[in-house]
Structure 1
Amino acid sequence: MALRRPDTGRNDRLVAAYPKTVATQVKKLRERFQLERIILVGDRGMLTQKRIEEDLQDHEGLQWVTALRAPQIQALMAQGAIQMSLFDEQNLAEITHPDYPGERLIVCRNPLLASERARKRKELIEAAEKKLKEIEAATKRHRQPVRGADKISYLVGKALATSKVEKYFRWTATDTGLNWEHNPERIGRDAALDGIYVLRTNVTVEQLDREQTVLAYKRLATVERAFRSLKSVDLNVRPIHHRLPERVRAHVFLVMLAYYVEWHMRQALAPVLGLICEGGL
């Protein structure tokens, strides 16, 4: 195990948000652990286009697996590179595209995830509609109606911001009322992506076929569960009452050791407790 506390000047800044974390960790793997070949798997927030261009490309023995963001997927769909006919036989397909030279794009569709996202979006839109109707009614009531375009706009912004569905509505506030409607184009554009995600990688098919690549990316969920366990669920790394950097590192290292023991206990007790465990830490 290895830990690093970046010298960011702020003790409370998350390591994951530190922009040079990727380059630093790759350097550590090469120099400290003497690894000649590395396949780095990271989510779309960590392995961004900028990080790939600045830290990962043109390094011998360094490869990656990550995912495209929604706007990048929408661009591929608009260009016809991704079509629903890809999923006629199975929910997995591999394509290439000139915007991603030397890379493989693995297009995946999860029907269960598609249904869940459609359901959640429908519920959020309906909840937002209810709030908009309440604001609209408040501008029309006889006693103390809401007046002023600025005030009405503020109420609308507050109502929609909490559910993050402002993009699904078009609205206009005047001094005496509110007019609103759905934005069907945006709703349809997002609905077209339901259940679809695209992995990008420069790992060759001889090293990882498309099924193995998808499995490697899905195993990030195990890492996320580990961090939840560390931060809140089981081990509670916070609050950290130490102030000196050395003591903070020692505190976090002890928590990591505790998780290491917990992981091995889960593996050993899986047959007894009926747990489904991953094959690696």
Structure 2
Amino acid sequence: MLPVNRTSVSEFFLLGFAPFPLFQQLLFLPVLVTYIICVFGNVTIILLVRTEPSLHTPMYFFISIFAVLEIMFASVTIPKLLAILIQTKKNISFFGCFAQLYAFEALGETECLLLAFMVFDRYLAITNPLRYSTIMNPQLCYRFAILPWVGGFACSSFPSSFTFLLDFCGPNEVDHFFCDLTPLQNLACSDPSSSNVVTSLSAVVGVVTPFIVIVGFYIHIIHTVLKIESTEGKTKAFSTCSSHLIVASLFYGSGMTVYVKPKGSNYDKFLALMYAVMTPVLNPFIYTFRNREVKNALRKNIKQFILFLH
């Protein structure tokens, strides 16, 4: 068989929610408002953590790093989603598509790894409070902040590269609102089985393994908290990790459904709306409303801002 010229496809067309025209028309304004709130909310958290001395702790340091990640993660997909919702032409260049694919996968796996490091921080705070400040020193915090980025970008490079090397010779309509692994693999003219295998292995390393680590630490945390005799002590211990638990559950609940299985389904794009659009905007509210320190810092800064205006 003659080799296929993989450069015959110079661009892709993102179908988005075109098969559901009414849904697509109604989606633009909610997504736009959601993106604005996401950026504003996460920037607020970053500024609060940097400016408020009471929030200069490892937990809030990691929350601020997570907020930076959320802004970047949402910015990879939502602006393009907004564009294809209002434009007739829904094209994206070949290299632009794979750049978006790699950025999305890398930032997603970075979030998974960072969530695992964050639960380790909470595990130490609850199970070893006397040595916590000594163990979680600034040097270790910075290492824990850098490692997820290195691991996420390295791990995601394999499925992205294997998918990029597939032959794309004709079909170029991506049944999604952004360039994702499964829809692109389904368009390949060559056999995508090796890319599917690498995608699954990458998901195991970058998504499933951190999930297992998180579950393991929470089992130990719950076991430790249940040994605390006072109800107040139990409530305080649970409150320190409840926000992280909710965020991790939201992210993994939708993300793992899509990425652990490589073949995909017609519902993947709807699930993707949850973890690509809704989760980044919910996280600032979860961390704000469930953390007394953040609420106090927010009130303090609002009062200072009002006094400054007067």
User: What band does the TM-score fall into relative to the shorter chain?
Assistant: under 0.3
Higher strand share: 1
User: Max radius of gyration: which structure?
Assistant: 1
Higher helix share: 2
Q: Which has the higher contact order (CA 8 A, sep 6+)?
A: 2
